[in-house]
Structure 1
């Protein structure tokens, strides 16, 4: 069986054969689709390649590691079936899809929000604010995919990389200019954001969560921190009121990443709030940036 050795090579091979969608679930495969098959936590998708071909898949990209155990696939590969292998396919699938769709996220201001709490609100407010300023901005997260008022559910905070890159390409074609994405710790560990050209990373806070998945707090934090070590990252927005905020500032000191700090308490932050008051209508406060300040009223509490 032929083996692909780079995302660009795999994307070129797919373009010559695929007329429809990129799929990682054989149950969703339709005629003309490509099927990506790797070993998951509960099942090995390579068991379903024959089924995908029977449903009309025009190309199958399978994990190379351990492939010798799948005799049927090797036999098909020797008889001109549209199957090739790739070492480390799961980790590379986002980069392959990015190359296949011609780097859609390079044409967007892609912002990724991570933290235990506040990801959904932050992403939603970013999308609303930018859209009202005339820059169409979409959301990827707990509430689904889409523009404010036009969302559809995916069932995951961070979709799988094939679905994500497909959606980014569609938005670029529709004239969207920015995207605010929730970057969950699980999504980062599962490598669902791989292939995304993230320009801005945003940190909200860090408290205990998802230990059933990560095992301990250190592993959970390492997942969050990885967003701020993203290749090509240009800007980081960091909440100084959380102790981990300073950890991230220290991590990025001396790097090319422009750091913007925010705070409800520290006047040393680039952007901070003062005169915070709670009213029967919500909250009122001033946002201060350098010598400038602006009054803000919000119906939200907290």
Structure 2
């Protein structure tokens, strides 16, 4: 609990003298409890000022609003609790929240990971590796937050500013010292991590995504760059195989380090990489020596980049090359990232993978990896869709990529949300030339059954787009659905016949 004047000292333009005790913070009036401070922020769907009355009824003892926002005067005047105007409030929520929770990240080692693809895998690998190295670690990201093998769900890759600070506070209370956090472009643009004290920052890559939110690719790029311009950073790690990463590593001041699959002038680079159906073998050269990695749990060329970044982070944290080598060789795969569906009769069934690939670059990478795992004469079958109410420009690009790398393409519903699935399918097929190799089955369960039915023992079926998600959203309705479980049911049923 903290007094309102202390919470807002130096943040509110005018000194707030209220000694009113604040016991909690809330962005959603439905989540307000007695003693809370309510942030009435304007949003994309509605204005928080419309819910001031509801917040007060639920127990809010004070309200913060954007200065000069034009908040409904009636709502402000009718409020029976203090209403305080703060300029640029949305970007100060993080600082207010950090103060409320005691600035937890200042006492932790916080590793921020950003980029279009690879954030989840890097966070998962780093957190997992640190635990193997006998350190208390956690992650925050797309899969949830907490211990890497026991995650609690979050609504967003980077949670809202209040939730980020609360999670960090809870983790700190539980003895966690290291946190690997996925930092999304939305999170950066909306100031959700403004008051986080990052020690290391990692850049994976930058490709086409989120252009429904950002005006264009250049704005998307500028927003991502913000993470690496922070004064508190001790080191920044860039993927030099990505043109943006190479550019930033050269121009950004500070301790900037490069990782690369091919460039031996990078601080961390690999040689003798071998990727097969049995795993990944490679040698990663570091300033501390060579790490000979032999990991039988991971697949795919894209994981080479993820392992390079993981090794770079562990090296910067002070771990020795021999310890890193042993640890990274034991890392387990990320749920929903080129995850094989393990069924009751694997020797008589096709190989089925579930993957989260939902951008053009990610889909191409995972299809290339799958192609490298099968004999020349075998088929690669790809099932995917695109999310509704999201970047439409990537739909035809993904259609063209699926057609280029797969022998058979099945297009189905992803999370269509309020959009008509068949309209999304039409957008996807706009980028495809040979539609004879395309089958459209709107119902995803039926589509998975069909895709697997078309595969022989030596073939691979890739179910792309949803990864480890446990729900599907169609026509504003969310219901339980898992690509992995659905495919497992189909394989087990097929094995009985």
Match of 1:63 among 57, 62, 66: 66
CA contact (8 A) 1:64 1:87 kept: yes
Question: 1:224-243 residue pairs with structure 2 within 5 A?
Answer: 224-243=224-243
Match of 1:34 in 2: 37
CA contact (8 A) 2:38 2:55 kept: yes
CA contact (8 A) 1:136 1:178 kept: yes
Match of 2:286 in 1: 289
Question: 1:83-232 residue pairs with structure 2 within 5 A?
Answer: 83-232=83-232
Change (3 A) 1:45 1:14: farther
- Range with bigger deviation, 221-230 or 53-62: 53-62
- Unpaired runs of 5+ residues, structure 2, are 302-497
Match of 1:6 among 10, 13, 35: 10
SS of the equivalent of 1:116 reads coil
The separation in 1 between residues aligned to 2:192 and 2:272, in whole angstroms, is 40
CA contact (8 A) 1:11 1:99 kept: no
CA contact (8 A) 2:249 2:257 kept: no
Please say if 1:17 is aligned against 2:14.
no
CA contact (8 A) 1:29 1:56 kept: yes
CA contact (8 A) 1:65 1:88 kept: no
CA contact (8 A) 2:106 2:197 kept: yes
- Unpaired runs of 5+ residues, structure 1, are none
Match of 2:55 in 1: 52
CA contact (8 A) 2:127 2:180 kept: yes
Match of 2:298 among 274, 297, 300: 300
Rg (Cα) greater in structure = 2
SS of the equivalent of 1:212 reads coil
The separation in 2 between residues aligned to 1:6 and 1:54, in whole angstroms, is 29
Q: TM-score, normalised by structure 2?
A: 0.56
CA contact (8 A) 1:11 1:96 kept: no
String of CA shifts for 1:173-224, please: whole Å, max 9, x gaps.
Answer: 2111011111111211121111111111100111111111112110111111
User: Between Structure 1 and Structure 2, how many residues are aligned?
Assistant: 293
Change (3 A) 1:108 1:16: farther
CA contact (8 A) 2:110 2:200 kept: yes
CA contact (8 A) 2:65 2:71 kept: no
Higher relative contact order, structure no. (Cα contacts within 8 Å, ≥ 6 residues apart): 1
Shift in Å, 1:91:
0.7
Structure 1 stretches of 4+ with a deviation exceeding 6 A read 8-15
Match of 1:72 among 71, 75, 90: 75
The separation in 2 between residues aligned to 1:183 and 1:11, in whole angstroms, is 33
Match of 1:261 among 252, 255, 258: 258
Change (3 A) 1:196 1:29: same
SS of the equivalent of 1:211 reads coil
String of CA shifts for 1:14-54, please: whole Å, max 9, x gaps.
Answer: 984222x3110111112222211111122110111111111
CA contact (8 A) 1:22 1:163 kept: no
Q: TM-score, normalised by structure 1?
A: 0.90
The separation in 2 between residues aligned to 1:231 and 1:10, in whole angstroms, is 28
Shift in Å, 1:279:
2.9
Match of 1:270 in 2: 267
